[in-house]
Structure formats: structure tokens, C-alpha cells
Structure 1
């Protein structure tokens, strides 16, 4: 009796667990089989506890409801779980309503016809615990034949599942097949060999064992095989996010990496599975049963390539969902972007250098050609041509020097010699030199400084190069007759140099272009101001090595003010 009630309790607990296991196919049949099992086991317990043949016979007749429905629901469960198909309605109606009513009615009316239980049915009390000996009649064997037909159907179902299963889960279905054979062996031992368990039919106990075995196999899939353990380790330990989705695209399970990613990407309470690039991919997968042509997505600062694999129990079986893996390609994406940027920079470098070389070379070549052939040229014309050639030679020299400096900066060979110097003198000299730039534009310079010697520790030549670049740009982008205002002041322990022009100005959000190498705001062939695009890049690098900074404020059509900050010498 205690074994009966312990078995009932265990089956009920496992049934409760299965009820909460929403991803288990055919779980409602498993629950109904558990209910029928409990019905049958309760009948066995009551039958063992009675000492009246009439009472025992009544209980035995009532037990047939559970006896018929248990293998029926078990076969339905295996049909949906192993084959992934729905039980046809006509089979459900016949086996769940018609067959139990006919068999139970035949057992209940045995007192009239005695074709189900014969006259030799009696209570045996001479062998320890009393039990009921049932004299089985022909209708009993008809009922048993029907039940064997149902159980053999279940065996065929599991055998087919073993045959068609993927190799990774085949051992699981072999155990399921063995669990289906157990009740058959127990019942045959009872019918043929009169084997009894506690004086009763061992079949319900064997069915309980099968239910427990299946629940255990499903609950703890470490029993499946070593492959399952390896898959589980990969699923939970991989750094690539993996999601298990049902056929509607709803999440059944995620590995820790996917859970953390979804948590990080959950913005404003909206899951990335419902919105965003990942949601779009999953919706396309559900609708078309295939991934879109482009599966690269971005979540936060990371990039992923989406891969999806159909989940089914074998070839030709019903699709149960998808396993979606997100392969982190952030590193490859960044590398590709850097490669593209490097290629663009190289292309821009070649275009800029060739353009900036062509202009002065054309002028030099034309001037020297005219001088070589122009014996009739006047002295003023000769001087003008020589000035133009000399000026463009200086432009070429600056371009070559800028290229050398840029190469030195990238290789770490850029050296500087620091010494203490008067910043006021440096700014004054640079401003005076800038007044000779483009004299035909007639740019007016203003220089304002505080009455204090501002001493800085700097490389005099390199700092002069910075000032020359900034002042040259101010002249270059100023309109003829414009003005450039230079100011030198102090803020706390820093010297501040400002260079303001009233030129064309710089468009908003152009800082990356202003200080990037080989970059010019106007890259067209019709531009009026030329240059290598290296000056401001080199200037920022030099100031960084001085512990200083350079920034600007500007507005198109208003002008630009560059501000240089340098730490004062202690």
C-alpha cells in the first residue's frame, strides 16, 4: 500500500513539473496519462485494502477507466512528442470516448453474462496479504487485445522515432522505446506467468515507472548522451549569444550571453526581439522560414552576423522552432572599417598630393619656359615670373616638408628639442612673417599682447611652425582687404594665443576634417585656397607633445577664431 501511494505522489509531482514545462510537445497528453495513472493506482490501492469480494470487484470495474485511458494517452503523447504531429480527431473520439465506455460497460455487466470476469473470481486469503483472483473471460481478452493494439502502436511510434531521429538524440529515443516496452513485459508476465506485485497486477506499476523514466529523461537531459552534455556546455559557455525560439518566434530559452545582450539592448522597456534590427530579422525568419539576404545587425556598440538552424526531431518531421546564433563580428567589422578608411586615406593622399604638386609645378614650368624663350621680356616681367617661380618652389618645399613630418609622426621619428623661450617674441615674429603672405590680398594684421613675458618650455622651431600654419590659414581664407587679429594672453597657468579672421568660416561639425591628415573642407577643382591638408594635423600633433591644445570656433560667413593653449614654464 505504501508503494502505491508513494508512486501516486511521485507521478503527481512529475505531472506538475511537466505542466510548467511549456516547450514540451504533447505535454497535455502526458498530464492526462498521469491522471489516468493516478486513477489506476488509487484503484489498485483500494483493491488491496478491501476484504470484500463485492467491493474489490466494484473497484476493479471502475479501474478500467484508467486502464484503458492510460495507454491511450501514452500513445498520443509519444505520437506528438516523437513525431511532432497532431492526433487526428476521429482517433481521439473513438479511443477516448467509445472504447473506455464499451470496455467498462462490459466489465460492469459481467454479473449478467460472466463473459468478462468468470465465476471463479474470488478473494484469496491463504498466502499472506489477501488479494482478488480474477477469472478472466473472453471479453476480458478482447479488451486486453485492444489495449495491446494501442500499446503496440506506441511501440511502433517510438521505433519510427528512433529510426528517423538525428544521431545526437537517437539514444534518447532508444531509452523512450525501452520505457514503452516495460509495461508490455510486465503485463505479459502477469497474464502468462501469473506474476504479481504485492498480490496485484504489476502493469500499473510498470506504467508508472515509464512515466517517471520519461519525465526524468526530459527533466535531466544529461541522461541523453555525451553529445547532449557537450551541446549543453557549448550552449551555456559560449560567448556568442544563442536563442531558442518557438515556431512563432517567441523566446523559449537563451544562453547567458544572449540574456546579457538582450538586457543591455533593452531600451525604454522595448526588447530588441520586438523592435530593432534583431526583431526585423526574426520576423522575416518566421514569415519566410529563411533569413533575409543581409543578416549583419548592430546591437549597442557590437556587430553580429545572424545564423538560424531549424529545430526538428528528424527528417520530414514537424518544425519545432529555431536555434538562432549571433556571431560577434565586431572585431572584423572594425578591421574592415579601418581597412576602408586606410584605403580612402591613401586614395585621398594620392589625389591631394598630385593636385597640390600639379599647381605649383605648372606655375614653375610656365614661368621658367617664358623666361627661357622670352628674350624680349621686360625687366619687370622677368622679376614677376621669377617671383612666381620662387613662391611656388616654396610651396613645393612646404608640401614636401609636411609629408616628411607626417611620416615622422606616424613612425615615432618626430623629434623635438625643448628649451625655455619667450612666447611673445615667437608670436610677434610669426605675425610679421605672415604679413608677407599673399601681399596682393592686402590683409591687415593686428597684434595685441599683455605687458608680461610669458615663458614656455617649447621647441622654438616647431612652435613657430604651428603659428605659421594657423596664420597662413587665416590669410588663405580671408577675403582681399580683410583683417587678422592676433592676441596673446594668460589664463591661470596657461598662455593663450588667439588668431581671428573674418573669412568664409568653417561649416558646423567639421572638426574631424579640419585636423585630419590630407583633408580639406573644399576638395573641388574650383577651390580658391590650396594646401596639402596636413598643416592643422601636424599642428595638433606638435601641440600635444607640448602638453597644449588647439581648438576653434567658427560660423560660415562670419569668420574663424583659433585658440592655442600652452602651459607656462614653472
Structure 2
């Protein structure tokens, strides 16, 4: 029979179903599945309790009491999972299987209670009146399930209380709403289990869902419980590290995040006009300030700079009215400040560094210009000096030749001295030729001559000149396989041979010969090359220094006091490269060295662009 308790329970069912439907239509929120599952479980529980009240027969009442166990177990379980998801993080799907599995198992145990008596040990009406409520003696499984449910209820209280403690005022009311809504069924169930509280002689827990539904209705309609956007905006405002202030139309601060409140320590900015706040009044003039504004001082007493951005806050429709004006009106503004102190200091340091670099660059350019002028003057002086020296040296050599012819007949004792004079003159001429050649090679406009050369004659002349400059030394020539001629720059190639022979004679003992050999070898693609080697039995080159022997101004560490400038072999490599060839060395310390010059015999291999792009190193 339909009674007031049944009507109240059915009303609770409608309220919870309405809340579940509203929740389903809302935008997704954390724990939505658990919340809806909780509402449906509560509806199941309240419906079974209502039917238990309506049916008159005790057996029917017992059946619907057993049917209610699925909702009894699932409702608090899903409620706890919902709170965890909403306040912490979304629970994994596997945890939702726990209340479903335990609820189903308990429901099955309740429906088979007659066989084991683990939930209800005895059931009897509380009076002889028709449709009287039943009194249940509870078994062991009932108390085990109750403990299981209380674990979830305690977890709900702990999670919600922790949320209230951590919450900011903007959304602390939501967590308090959770506690209020949860406390009602909790108190009702504890009172029923202890036997101290019943409602209409029935378990008051299902009735408590009517009150919980009303609380949720108020939270949803008045406090927008599941409208996360306002809550998220409040959280975001507090989490933003930059100062943010919300001003109304009169310039009064109505909201400020912690970073903004820190700009006016010891003073509450809320409710005050921006123009009244020390350090922030410069921002009250309005507009968007792109330039940095000095506001406060840091711990070192230096001014901190901020960039201020003002965003208007409007209210009304975006569609213009009939007068052509927008239906919106400005109700305030959002003032965002970005701390650019470090950026401004870095920019100042960068500007200072750039200024100093510019000064250094100008100074370096001036020094470079002066150095280039000095080098040009030096080259001009050396060139002039070399030419000026060659003229008197030629006169000395010519006079020595005339005297030598006359001395052979009249004063044989003067011949060795005249030969020594001529050798000294030739040595000096070779040094001057090397200096002039190095100067020419360093000129980007230098280009090779393309003369037909008689190789045997060129090599014999170079060997004879070096032999005359080193009396008593023996130069062995092997020109049997030497090609008859080639195209190239004769003076430069002769200078290469002079430098190679001079090095060999300089760094080998007086009793050992120097061998000059020339032959033809086939290179890649069938191209013929002139191979020219100069071998000595001298001091050799240390293995660690072989790779550097062709570097400009480099001299091996074992050369001792032997005269030299370190440019001869470098010049050989550069001249060989201009002819499209290479020069290599094979040396063993204390045994001797073999320098091999390889030059293509075809004219096409000669460098067409002079010294452009060729390093002197």
C-alpha cells in the first residue's frame, strides 16, 4: 500500500534520476561515470526500499530487501571513486570493477540468504499489523560488507577534507558541499546499524538520499558544481606566476592573484582603487603599456620592470543594435603584468657588449689597415731591395769571372778565392730569388707562365748550380727515363729543384751523395706525369713532424744551427699545386729523406685562376 515513506522514497528516486540525467548532459567533468553510476545505484536502492514498504506480505518484503543490496553496496563505493576523481585525478578503469564485483557478489549472497543465513539470520515483523515493517537480525556477511562500505566512506571524508584544506576561497564551497551531501547518508546509516535511528520503522539511509539530492540540486543550479570553467579560471589565476589584477569600471581592484598581491606587501589591494596603491598607481592611466614600467624594487634595491597589458572586460550582446552601435559595454578590465626585469638587464648588457664589440671592431679594422699598409710597404721594400741587390751582385759575379779567367794564367793561387766569391754571389742570388718568388706567389693576381721546357737541360742546370754552390759535394743524376719536355713555368720549376737539392745538400753529410732522378709514370685515367725525386742520406725528419714539413715557416726540431727560413718546401708545394701536381716525402730519422715531385705533363692541368683561393700555408 502506498504510504508517505514510499512516496518520499519514490520522490528520492526521481530526484536522483533527474540529477543523473542532468549530469549526463553536462560537458565532461572528472568522475562523471562514477557520479552517474552512484546515482543509478542510489535509485536502485531507493526503488527497492519503496517497493519493500508498499508490498504487504513479509516474504515479498524480504525479497525486495535482498534486491536492494546491489544499490546498497555500489552507491557509497562509486561515491568515493567520484570524489577521488573530482578532487585528485581520474581513477583507472580497473578500480571501477571493484564496487561492481563486490556489489554483484553481495547481491547474489542476499538472494540466496535462505541457504546460508550470512546476511540475515532471522526476519520477523515488528508487529501484527498488516504490511508491518520487518525486523532483521544481521549475520556475519552483513557486518563484513558494512566494514567494506565504511572504508569507502572514510576515504571519502579524508579526500574531501583534504580538498577543503587545499582549496582557495574561490572553490572551497564546492568541497564543503561534498561534505554536507555525504554526511547525511553517513549519519543515517551509522544510526541504523547501531540501532539508534530509524525512520518510519525503516532504514533511514534511503530517505537520506532525498536530502542529498536536494543539496546536489542546489549545488548544481546555484553553485554550478560541475561547471569546471569558473573553477578552472580561478585555479589558473592563482597559478599564473605573473601578476594579474581585475579592475571594475571605476578602476577598483576586485580580484588579484598572489603574484599581484606581492607587489604591495602589507596592503590588501582588493577593494582599493589602483591609483591608491603604491607602486601600481602608474598603471591607472589606462591603455596598453608595451614599454617596460618600473614598479617595485627587488631584494638588491634595483627597480623591477614590468610590461603591462590591459584587456577590456565587456558585458552584453556582440551583435550591434539598430543604431549601429555594439550591444556590449565595458564593465572593467584585466590587467596583466609580465616581469621583464631580467630581459631588460640582459638587453642592457647585450647593448653594452655590442657597443664594446663595435669599438673593438673599429680598432681592429684600423690596426688591420695599418698592418696591411705596413705589409705593402715591407713587400715594396723587399722587392726594391732584392732588385737593387741583384744588380751589384751581377756586377760582382761578372768581375769575378773576368778575374778568374786572368788568374788561371797569371795567378793560379787566386782561383779558389774567386770561386768562393762566385759561390757566395750565387747563394745570395738564390736567396733573393726565393724571396721574390714567395712574394710573387702571395700575390692573388699571380699566374703561371706556359713555356715549353726542355726538362733534361733544366735539371742539369739546377744540379750544376747547386754543385757549384757546394764544392766537394756530389749530385748524381739519373735522367735516362726523363721526358724530353713539358709545358710549365720554367723559373718556378727550377726554383723547386733548387730548393729540394739545397735541402738535401744542407742536411746530409759531406761524404754522402744526393741523387736526382726523373721519369714518367702513369697516373689515374691514363694521364702521364713527370716524377722527380731528390734522395739524400742525411739526418731525416722525426716521424711526428713529417706531416708538417711543408707548412710555411716550419722547421724540424733536429735541424740544429743550419741556416733556413722554413719557406722553401712550402713554396715547392704551392708551385706543384699550381701545376696540378703534388709533392710528398718519405723520411726515416737518421737514415735520410726522399722528396718526390709529381707534375702532369699536359698543359690542361695548369692552374687557370692564378693564386685565387690558394692558401700560403
Q: Same fold (TM over 0.5)?
A: no
- RCO higher in structure (CA 8 A, sep ≥6): 1
Normalising by structure 1, we get a TM-score of 0.41
